[in-house]
Amino acid sequence: MVTNITNLSRSGLYDWMMQRLSAIVLAAYTLFIAGYILTTPELDYGQWHELFSQVWVRIFSFLALLSLIAHAWVGMWTIATDYLNSRAFGEKSVLIRFPVQLICFIALFSYLVWGIQVIWGL
Amino acid sequence: MNSKRPVNLDITTIKLPLPAYTSILHRLSGILLFAGVGLLIYALELSLASEESFADLQIVMSSGLAKFILWVLLSGLIYHFVAGVKHLLMDAGIGEELESGRIGSIATIVVSAVLIVLAGVWVW
């Protein structure tokens, strides 16, 4: 058993809902980008830059980025607590699980800051 | 904690049904994407920074290795997407029974396999 002090909200139901809502945003964004690329043959820098300079595309991209962070955190947390637990690694499993979650946090936080830089051109 | 509580069964000793494999694949593709997002953000940065970096990215993406990496990431994305849609349908109560769950898993594999092949055609 894992003592759950690292989940997003202390509420499994809220984590579940965040994962689903973020999934819908990410699915919509994936279809949007894939649709744009597939329907724009010979895509050049001008068109691409024009697309991402529109405010609504930036907002949509930023929303997708935030969704990705939340979605990946809940997903990686679930995987970490399902497999890197005391059943698999004994009573000291927290010494394995916590560093993994720390790496996930650092990676996702880096994606967030870096992604904001890219999307908003700071 | 009551130590006599029943524990999860050891999955390595159980013959898993097909939906279990599609679920595990969903998790593995999620881990792949978690790592791959770094590359995607880097590509987006190059594509938007300037006309020169856009051209540089196009040159990089014309190499076989880059195309293969892109295809692997697209495959992960496609599988995660399709299996995720199945998850959302199951949240809505569709495909939760033994037989419909199995059919849903087969559909997930078939649909994503077709899309992954099409993605490969698009990449190359």
Could A45 and B54 be called an inter-chain contact, meaning their C-beta atoms sit closer than 8 Å? yes
B27 close contact with A: CB closer than 8 A:
yes
Res. B1: pLDDT tops 60:
no
Res. B32: pLDDT tops 60:
yes
The whole-number pLDDT of residue B3 equals 64
Angle, vertex CA A101, rays to CA A121 and CA B18, nearest 5: 100
A109 close contact with B: CB closer than 8 A:
no
Question: Residue A56 and residue B121: Cα distance in Å, rounded?
Answer: 31
Question: Which residues in chain B have Cβ-Cβ distances shorter than 8 Å to A107?
Answer: 34, 38
Give residue B2's pLDDT band: very low, low, confident or very high (50, 70, 90).
Answer: low
B41 close contact with A: CB closer than 8 A:
yes
Res. B5: pLDDT tops 80:
no
Question: Residue A76 and residue B30: Cα distance in Å, rounded?
Answer: 8
42-81 of B, contacting A, C-beta below 8 A: 44-45, 47-48, 51, 54-55, 77, 81
Question: How much of chain A exceeds pLDDT 70, in percent?
Answer: 97
DSSP secondary-structure letter at A11?
A: -
Q: Which of these, B123, B17, B88, B64, lies nearest to B115 by C-alpha position?
A: B123
Q: Which residue of B has its CA nearest to A113?
A: B41
Q: Which range (A35-39, A48-52, B93-97) has the least confidence?
A: B93-97
Tokens 């979605």, residue located: A71
Give residue B33's pLDDT band: very low, low, confident or very high (50, 70, 90).
Answer: very high
What are the respective helix, strand and coil percentages of chain A, to the nearest 5?
80, 0, 20
Question: Which residues in chain B have Cβ-Cβ distances shorter than 8 Å to A110?
Answer: 38
Nearest CA of chain A to the CA of B77: how many Å? 9
A18 close contact with B: CB closer than 8 A:
no
Could A27 and B38 be called an inter-chain contact, meaning their C-beta atoms sit closer than 8 Å? no
pLDDT tens digits, one per residue of B46-56: 999 999 999 99
Contact indicator for A63, A47 with CB cutoff of 8 Å? no
Verdict on whether the full-model pTM lies above 0.90? yes
Tokens in use for A19? 């994962």
pLDDT averaged over chain A?
93
Mean pLDDT of B26-35: 97
The whole-number pLDDT of residue A91 equals 86
H helices of B1-124, in order, are 18-49, 51-61, 64-91, 98-123
The whole-number pLDDT of residue A2 equals 53
Tokens in use for B1? 């904690």
3-state SS, residue B95:
coil
Question: Which residues in chain A have Cβ-Cβ distances shorter than 8 Å to B1?
Answer: 1
Give residue B8's pLDDT band: very low, low, confident or very high (50, 70, 90).
Answer: low
pLDDT averaged over chain B?
93
Could A23 and B54 be called an inter-chain contact, meaning their C-beta atoms sit closer than 8 Å? no
